[in-house]
């Protein structure tokens, strides 16, 4: 078999293995018993659908309100601080939703500093005043919006930057004001990009477990966990997961659709440099304030609160904490290496084989990112347990030794779940790097005597070392933040930073959760800095958008 066919076969096998958990969930729809369904219908299903839809609606509105105006202001207008605000607006991306939820709970709940201050100042007692209940559906909407708006911001900012200055100048010359040009022209032109950004935010919303669980909101993810662990009702959990999958599929379709329109809208526009609109004094300071507030609320307050808590918990930086960090780091590092290694193989296989099967393999792997960790974990845990039992029986019958669990409840299952979920991220980064290498480099290498795999090793990898490092970094950080799949699949008594923070926060030990949370946020800053480093120039904005879109969906840009 030639290396080309070998790689093709390999990537199809990888895709099948990685897609297997999804097939398990889909398959459960057909094996599900009618009684399970009718029970779900009568009890919790509509609650879950209702809450999930409200949450999505709220987050969509929230991210739009936070993301689009800031994007427009920083890309088209000139006001004090615009330059640093335009990258600082990405900072909340570093804060996982569940962590921001802990910090605001600490700040705003009954015993928190804000309410205490109100009571002290006005001399009020419990129940004598109204205060925003942060642990609620509305609270979850606000928390998720505060950390997910950067997706919308990034996508729409790029779209605004890409819009031809001519288009806007024509509309001005036809008598439209800046404001009307924005609504009549800039916004409709940017709409596909904005929609794509919102769908990315909504995928994260659907996948979120930490926030909604902590706030006690019954959505699909919390429902699945409760059904699975609380009631031990595996079939019902699977049915719920399949409904959630349906939601995810809708989002994927919406995202793909708007992406197609995006490439249409962006093509053919002549790129000329914008002359930024200079805002008058008062308006300019309003713009600065407007752009600063999401950063303040989404990053500075939560990070400051974590820092404050952590300072009182310095004694908790003990051996146990470092063991936790070590677990998180090596898990994330191994997962990153696996995901990048497989992504290299698959991306290269797709480059060598132009046929349909490899394309399908690559795009099916690209779907992983849209899948909530709970779905992936459920899709893994039951088949693995079954397989484990078979293996144990088999070995015991032959050798007479009980080897114990080999797959489920081991790091293997966890790493497998991470690969399923984050392979798309690495694949996106690798594919975008590979796409920049002209095909004649491959041909030149081959004609000078390299075998296909050597071309990858000796030419591609050194040439796109930047992309490889980016891929490693992004997967590393994503794994570090991941919560639901880790909760379900981790080996007994094996803790990571994210799991420990979640456990402590759930036990109302918010301050104790701070060191671990802070660590996650700090590591999470790395890819944000990477992303923001080159955000200001137009050329880079386009590149960033592509990189972001690729890393988020694993889809190759047309």
Partner 1 sequence: MTTSPPTQILTELNVQNISVAYDGVTVVKEADFTLKIGEIGCFLGSSGCGKSTLLRAIAGFETLSSGCITFDGIVLSTPTNTVEPENRNMGMVFQDIALFPHLTIRQNIEFGIQHLNKHERQARVEHLLTLVELEGFEERYPDSLSGGQQQRIALVRAIAPKPKLLLMDEPFSGLDAKLREELVPDIRTVLLKEKISAILVTHDQMEAFAMADHIAIMDKGCIHQSASPYEVYHRPSTRFVASFIGYGDFLTAKVRDAYSIDSDLGVIKSDIEHGFTIGDEVDLLIRPDDVLHDDDSQFTGMIMNRWFRGSHFLYRVKLDTGKIIYCFASSHHNHCVGQSIGLTVDIDHLVLFAKK
Task: Count the site residues for partner 1 by CB under 8 A.
Answer: 16
The closest of 255, 269, 288, 301 to 555, measured between CA atoms, is 255
- Element of type H or E holding 464: none
In angstroms, the Cα distances linking 484 to 155, 320, 374, 377 are 27, 22, 6, 8
The interface region with partner 1, picked from 74-82, 88-96, 108-116, 447-455 by CB under 8 A, is 447-455
List Cβ neighbours of 443 (8 Å cut-off, separation of 6 or more).
none
Q: Does 462 bind partner 1 (CB under 8 A)?
A: yes
Least CB distance to partner 1 at residue 447 (A) = 4
Question: Judged by CB, which is closer to partner 1: 451, or 539?
Answer: 451
Among 42, 438, 492, 493, binds partner 1 (CB under 8 A): 438
CA pair distance 406, 412, nearest whole angstrom = 8
Contact between 158 and 545 under an 8 Å Cβ cutoff? The reply is yes
Least CB distance to partner 1 at residue 435 (A) = 15
Q: Which two three-digit tokens encode residue 42?
A: 């009568």
Least CB distance to partner 1 at residue 358 (A) = 14
The interface region with partner 1, picked from 142-150, 302-310, 402-410, 459-467 by CB under 8 A, is 459-467
Long-range contacts of 33-40 (CB under 8 A, 24+ apart): 33/235, 36/233, 36/235, 36/236, 36/239, 37/239, 39/236, 40/236, 40/239, 40/240
Question: Judged by CB, which is closer to partner 1: 6, or 107?
Answer: 6
Q: Does 360 bind partner 1 (CB under 8 A)?
A: no
3-state secondary structure 337-355: HHHHHHHHHHHHHHHHCCC
Q: Does 448 bind partner 1 (CB under 8 A)?
A: yes
Sign of CA dihedral 240, 246, 247, 249: positive
Site string for partner 1, 392-421 (x = CB under 8 A): ------------------------------
Q: Does 444 bind partner 1 (CB under 8 A)?
A: yes
Question: Judged by CB, which is closer to partner 1: 319, or 448?
Answer: 448
Question: Judged by CB, which is closer to partner 1: 4, or 538?
Answer: 4
Q: Does 114 bind partner 1 (CB under 8 A)?
A: no
Question: Judged by CB, which is closer to partner 1: 180, or 436?
Answer: 436
Least CB distance to partner 1 at residue 555 (A) = 22
173 burial (CB, 10 Å; 0-12 / 13-18 / 19+) is exposed
Q: Does 443 bind partner 1 (CB under 8 A)?
A: yes
Among 60, 459, 471, 479, binds partner 1 (CB under 8 A): 459
Q: Does 450 bind partner 1 (CB under 8 A)?
A: yes
Q: Does 542 bind partner 1 (CB under 8 A)?
A: no
The interface region with partner 1, picked from 47-55, 98-106, 286-294, 440-448 by CB under 8 A, is 440-448
CA pair distance 30, 460, nearest whole angstrom = 44
Question: Judged by CB, which is closer to partner 1: 3, or 218?
Answer: 3
Residues numbered 60 to 99 that lie near partner 1 (CB under 8 A) are none
Contact between 197 and 151 under an 8 Å Cβ cutoff? The reply is yes
Among 173, 318, 397, 440, binds partner 1 (CB under 8 A): 440
CA pair distance 15, 346, nearest whole angstrom = 9
Least CB distance to partner 1 at residue 337 (A) = 22
Contact between 51 and 221 under an 8 Å Cβ cutoff? The reply is no
Q: Which two three-digit tokens encode residue 334?
A: 């191994």
Least CB distance to partner 1 at residue 467 (A) = 13
Q: Does 1 bind partner 1 (CB under 8 A)?
A: no
CA pair distance 258, 77, nearest whole angstrom = 26
Q: Which two three-digit tokens encode residue 323?
A: 């063991």
Give the footprint of partner 1 on this chain (CB under 8 A).
Answer: 2, 438, 440-441, 443-451, 459, 462-463
């Amino acid at each position: 078999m030639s290396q080309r066919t070998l790689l093709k076969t390999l990537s199809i096998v990888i895709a099948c293995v990685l897609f297997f958990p999804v097939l398990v969930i889909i398959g459960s729809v057909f094996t599900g018993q009618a009684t399970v369904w009718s029970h779900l219908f009568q009890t919790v299903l509509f609650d879950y659908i209702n809450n999930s839809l409200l949450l999505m609606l709220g987050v969509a509105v929230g991210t739009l309100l936070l993301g689009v105006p800031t994007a427009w202001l920083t890309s088209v207008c000139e006001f004090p601080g615009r330059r640093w605000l335009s990258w600082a607006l990405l900072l909340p991306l570093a804060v996982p939703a569940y962590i921001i939820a802990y910090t605001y709970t600490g700040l705003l709940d009954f015993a928190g500093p804000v309410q205490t201050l109100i009571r002290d100042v006005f001399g009020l007692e419990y129940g004598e005043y109204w205060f925003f209940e942060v642990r609620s559906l509305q609270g979850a909407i606000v928390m998720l919006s505060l950390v997910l708006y950067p997706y919308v911001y990034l996508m729409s900012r790029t779209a605004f930057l890409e819009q031809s200055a001519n288009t806007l100048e024509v509309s001005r010359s036809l008598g439209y004001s800046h404001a009307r040009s924005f609504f009549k022209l800039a916004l409709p032109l940017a709409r596909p990009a904005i929609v794509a950004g919102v769908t990315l935010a909504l995928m994260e919303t659907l996948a979120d477990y930490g926030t909604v669980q902590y706030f006690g909101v019954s959505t699909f993810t919390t429902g699945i966990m409760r059904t699975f662990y609380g009631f031990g009702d595996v079939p019902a959990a699977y049915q719920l997961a399949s409904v959630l999958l349906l939601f995810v599929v809708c989002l994927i379709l919406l995202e793909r659709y708007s992406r197609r329109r995006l490439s249409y809208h962006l093509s053919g526009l002549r790129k000329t440099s914008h002359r930024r609109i200079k805002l008058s004094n008062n308006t300019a300071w309003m713009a600065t304030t407007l752009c600063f507030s999401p950063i303040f609320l989404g990053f500075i307050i939560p990070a400051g609160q974590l820092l404050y808590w952590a300072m009182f918990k310095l004694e908790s930086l003990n051996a146990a904490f470092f063991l936790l960090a070590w677990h998180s780091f090596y898990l994330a590092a191994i997962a990153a290496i696996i995901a990048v290694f497989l992504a290299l193989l698959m991306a290269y296989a797709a480059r060598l084989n132009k046929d349909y099967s490899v394309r399908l393999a690559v795009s099916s792997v690209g779907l992983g990112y849209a899948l909530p960790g709970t779905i992936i974990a459920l899709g893994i845990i039951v088949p693995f347990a079954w397989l484990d039992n078979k293996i144990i029986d088999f070995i015991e019958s032959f050798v007479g030794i009980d080897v114990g669990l080999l797959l489920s409840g081991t790091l293997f299952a966890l790493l497998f779940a991470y690969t399923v979920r984050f392979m798309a991220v690495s694949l996106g980064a690798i594919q975008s790097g590979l796409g920049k290498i002209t095909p004649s480099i491959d041909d030149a290498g081959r004609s000078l005597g390299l075998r296909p795999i050597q071309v990858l090793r000796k030419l591609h990898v050194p040439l796109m070392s930047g992309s490889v490092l980016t891929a490693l970094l992004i997967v590393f950080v994503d794994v570090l933040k991941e919560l639901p799949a880790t909760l379900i699949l981790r080996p007994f008594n094996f803790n990571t930073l994210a799991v420990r923070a979640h456990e402590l926060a759930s036990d109302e030990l918010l301050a104790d959760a701070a060191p671990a949370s802070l660590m996650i946020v700090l590591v999470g800053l790395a890819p944000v800095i990477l992303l923001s480093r080159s955000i200001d120039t137009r050329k880079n904005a386009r590149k960033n958008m592509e990189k972001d879109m690729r890393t988020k969906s694993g889809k190759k840009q047309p």
